Amino acid sequence: MVRVLLLFPAFGVTAAMFEFKPSDGRSSGTHQDQPVEAAEWYERGLTLRKAGLFRQAIEQFEKAVTDSDYALKAYAQIGLCCKSSRNYEGAVTAFRNALKSPAASTKETVQILYVLGRTLESLGRIEEALEAYRWLRREDGQFRDAAERIEFLSTRRMPVNSRQVRGGSLWTQPASRVWQDLLRNTK
């Protein structure tokens, strides 16, 4: 076992510890190792994402998606990394892959749909954003501002009552907050 300590002071992360298992080039062939590896890859990806190292984080998350237990969360994190690095098309692809996960709960599906809708909206792909929001509304009619987003995008004007929703912060809440809530609740 090799331990590596990385320092990222420029990104506000003082230290990140990674443990690597040296490989002798042979595959153990057991499926039991995969969940441990997927968990490690996922955790490394989270640490790298928090440090702002999005490309390296994506590499770790791409390894984690090979385990069905981590596929949904890893694809969602890939989407967030892509979005943070302004690769919105990559984010859309990753969020759609996350939605294909058979292990997705209703709560996870709704959160992914919201972030997907916001991403599509930022790309100007209004019809696709409406589709995501309508699916979201079918799953949870009270989720955040989904109904207002549908009305806004359908009519291209801001509904009067939505301007005061949530103390005026309706349009300023980052989509990553949805995932932060999810990650806190799934650990």
- Residue 179: the pLDDT is 54
**What is the pTM assigned to this prediction?**
0.69
Most confident stretch, 21-25, 150-154, 169-173, 182-186: 150-154
pLDDT tens, residue by residue, 43-75: 999 999 999 999 999 999 999 999 999 999 999
Query: What integer is the mean pLDDT of 10-39?
Result: 54
Rounded CA-CA distance 23/101 in Å is 30
* Residues sharing a CB contact under 8 Å with residue 169, sequence separation 6 or more, in sequence order: none
At 132-165, the pLDDT tens digits run 999 999 999 999 999 999 999 999 754 445 444 4
- 53 Cβ contact list (under 8 Å, min separation 6): 8, 11
